[in-house]
Amino acid sequence: MQYTQLGRSGLKVSRLCLGTMNFGPQTEEADARSIMDSALGAGINFFDTANVYGGTGHRGRTEEILGRWFATGGQRRERTVLATKLYGTMTDRPNESRLSALNIRRALDASLKRLQTDYIDLYQFHHVDRSTPWDEIWQAIDVAVQQGKILYSGSSNFAGWHIAQAQEAAARRHSYGLVSEQSIYNLLTRDVELEVIPAVQHYGLGLLPWSPLQGGLLGGVLKAGHDGARRTEGRSLETLRNHQDQLRQFEEFTRELGQDPGDVALAWLLHQPAVTAPVVGPRTQDQLDAALRATDLTLDSRTLRRLDEIFPGHRTAPEDYAW
């Protein structure tokens, strides 16, 4: 496993991040523990979760699963760079969501209790809060850092101008600011190349792409049939219909390469200069093994050009709008 620094920070993380959203709702706890042990054994030291993960009626369950795993010993917590998130609604009480100073304090303490740890390495804002001023957010984060409860902060699902707002407000306060942004990014969904990636690179943030296989659509869905996709209803089914020709070209090209489509799609992300670590969310050990294969796959310039031809991106960003 290769390691890199998370943005401009001194923190070293693996080139894959283990996403845990499926632990609880899709993956039983015993299987989740086995996957986490395998990930650590393979050199993945970067784990991502969120306070809302766990399924309908049991938000927080995924953090609890991680906490019980840490409690089994073996220096599991010490070997893990732990990332979690806040923003989503945890109860029906009015101050149990978003990024107010009150919710940051309460949500952080609740996550620490569920995770059975005394600090979180990377505390992420799951969404931008349009109603809370950045001075309030950074004051609460600075207090948490001073208390030793968190080390770094990151964002998720932010626009480029949200990142700029956050970083400029932090600079005015002499706060450290964000060190990472977690966005949807894959061959099919490349909107972040317009302004998010330029902002990330300008401000020294690491990019953590979620849904690197677009919910399974880049994992060979046409060959496998509709059952090969994680979700073939709603937006995923619509995406499949709208991009069927591109996906067919992609799968044919990966066959020419002699590689699995999912391996190529994940390897492509690892070749993007702004990307620190794609967030892979395996439901099974086989899916984790597939993700690990991609870290050893090198794509040459001809392959990268062909992938850009099939899935055009925004190579002139952030001047994409200019004439």
State residue 167's pLDDT score.
98
- In the predicted structure, residue 121 carries a pLDDT above the cut 70: yes
% of the chain exceeding 70 in pLDDT: 97
172-201, pLDDT tens digit by residue?
999 999 999 999 999 999 999 999 999 999
- In the predicted structure, residue 227 carries a pLDDT above the cut 60: no
Set 3, 53, 119, 176: catalytic member: 53
Alpha-carbon gap, residue 260 to 242, rounded angstroms: 22
222-227 contacts at long range (C-beta below 8 A, 24 or more positions apart): 222/247, 222/248, 222/251, 223/251, 223/261
Structure tokens at 4: 């890199």
Give the architecture (CATH level 2) of 3-215+270-299: Alpha-Beta Barrel (3.20)
State residue 322's pLDDT score.
87
Query: Average of pLDDT values for 77-95?
Result: 95
13-60, pLDDT tens digit by residue?
999 999 999 999 999 999 999 999 999 999 999 999 999 999 888 999
Query: Average of pLDDT values for 236-240?
Result: 85
**Which of 238, 158, 167 is closest to 191 using CA atoms?**
158
- In the predicted structure, residue 230 carries a pLDDT above the cut 60: no
CB atoms within 10 A of CB 77: 19
State residue 319's pLDDT score.
87
State residue 23's pLDDT score.
97
Q: Which residue has the higher pLDDT, 96 or 163?
A: 163
State residue 234's pLDDT score.
64
Helices (H), 119-208: 134-146, 160-173, 196-203
Q: Where are the domains of the chain?
A: 3-215+270-299
**Mean pLDDT score of the chain:** 95
Alpha-carbon gap, residue 123 to 138, rounded angstroms: 12
State residue 224's pLDDT score.
77
CB atoms within 10 A of CB 135: 13
State residue 232's pLDDT score.
53
Which residues lie below 8 Å from residue 195, measured CB to CB, with a gap of 6+?
159, 160, 161, 317, 318
State residue 233's pLDDT score.
60
Query: Average of pLDDT values for 147-156?
Result: 98
State residue 239's pLDDT score.
87
pLDDT tier at 260 (50, 70, 90 boundaries)?
very high
**Which of 231, 293, 234 is closest to 26 using CA atoms?**
231
Q: Which residue has the higher pLDDT, 191 or 234?
A: 191
Pick the range with the lowest mean pLDDT from 20-24, 163-167, 314-318.
314-318
Alpha-carbon gap, residue 288 to 309, rounded angstroms: 29
State residue 323's pLDDT score.
78
**Quick check: is 53 catalytic?**
yes
State residue 8's pLDDT score.
98
